[in-house]
Amino acid sequence: MKKPFFTVITFAKINTRRFFRDKMAIFFSVIFPLIFLAIFGMLYNNNNNVSFRVAVINESDSAFSKQFVEEMGKNKIFNINKDLDTVDKAKIKMQNSELDAAIVLPSNFGTVASGNAYPTGQARVVYTENNQQSATTLASILEAQFKIINSKLVPTVTPFTVTTEAINEKSLSSFDYAFAGLLGFSIIGMGIFGPVNVFPELKKMGILRRLSTTPLRTWQYFLATMIGQMAIGIVSLAGMFIMAISLFHLKVVGNWLELSVFLLISVMMILGIGLAIGGWAKNERQAAPLSNIVVFPMMFLSGTFFPRFAMPELIQAISSFFPLTPVIDGIRLIASEGRHLTDILPQVGLIGAWFVIIYVIAFRVFRWE
């Protein structure tokens, strides 16, 4: 091995060992993104499984009403509180926001009226003013169920109908969309905050100043830092994919090799921002504010936590040129839509342009002390 690259590998090993000995760095670079992923995964899973917290007050003794309540209990849409048997008890729960609504089946519900050959009845949905939207949705669901029951009891003619048609295209689930943003959040953490936290500390201890007196070149030190951070990034991103697939059933429909290459390029590009800020700053007081000024706009406007399509058009146009935006968009296109690298050339090109710009700045502003 040639001496320059032997030096690079040596310092990469030193940087990697230093990281894995630092419990705080491990927490914020590896464990903290997993905690975020777990929280968002549980939130989006709950949103996908829509259910209503209801109480069913059955005041009827008819066999039909009992069967109807039993069938509701089997439906996952209804989360029935079986401890409530009166409207007054249900009102207390609704006032405390522990219940969305109460479904009241009156005493004549399910009985066969004189002159009819089938049971009849009218269910009543009781709700508070702040739960009007949930109650309206709940009433629509009940009406749809009653329509099915009515069609079995009384044959009716339906002049107008609707049908559904599935197109042969995949769409993003809520968690699929959020996962790409969480990967972007993790890449920011390891790529920017890693060097920003380490470089000023090494300058303060005088380590970088002593290194500057050796034959070590700036590009060698940058490359060694990059290799070390890439190793850390692989561990962090692999952990996120394992958790997302095993716990939250993430489906990666794209090519794993292309996705891996894209992630590595993205980490290298974002890492350049950390090298530039950490290499320029003399101490933590300079590094922390500057890194926050750079990170926070990307974190909130690049689609990390909020979808860009919901933002004003001007914000979308501006944020499309942020370094993190093509990273998150590219991850979504490859992982969730099955696109290839040749299909996302605009994102790859923008990352390449930022790569050149960022590293030119990083080399120019870097100082050993």
Q: What confidence score (pLDDT) does residue 142 get?
A: 84
Distance CA 98, CA 49 (A): 18
Q: Is the pLDDT of residue 194 over 50?
A: yes
Q: What confidence score (pLDDT) does residue 2 get?
A: 57
Q: Is the pLDDT of residue 259 over 70?
A: yes
**Proportion of the chain above pLDDT 90, given as a percent:** 10
Q: Which two tokens stand for residue 366?
A: 């870097």
**Proportion of the chain above pLDDT 70, given as a percent:** 86
Least reliable range by pLDDT among 41-50, 132-141, 220-229: 41-50
Q: Is the pLDDT of residue 114 over 80?
A: no
Q: Is the pLDDT of residue 58 over 80?
A: yes
Q: Is the pLDDT of residue 360 over 50?
A: yes
Distance CA 358, CA 360 (A): 6
When pLDDT is averaged across residues 131-159 and rounded to a whole number, the result is 78
Q: Which two tokens stand for residue 23?
A: 């419990």
Element housing 147 (H / E)? helix 132-153
Q: What Cα–Cα distance (Å) separates residue 256 from each residue in 234, 252, 310, 312, 339?
A: 14, 8, 29, 34, 11
Domains of the chain plus CATH, in order, are 3-45+171-365 (no CATH), 51-153 (3.40.1710.10)
User: In whole numbers, what is the pLDDT of the chain averaged over residues?
Assistant: 80
Q: Is the pLDDT of residue 168 over 70?
A: no
Which of the two residues, 112 and 43, has the higher pLDDT score? 112
Task: Show Cβ contacts of residue 96 under 8 Å, excluding neighbours closer than 6 positions.
Answer: none
Q: Is the pLDDT of residue 30 over 80?
A: no
Distance CA 308, CA 214 (A): 48
pLDDT-derived band at 167 (thresholds 50, 70, 90) equals very low
pLDDT in tens, 305-342: 777 877 888 888 888 899 999 999 999 889 888 889 99
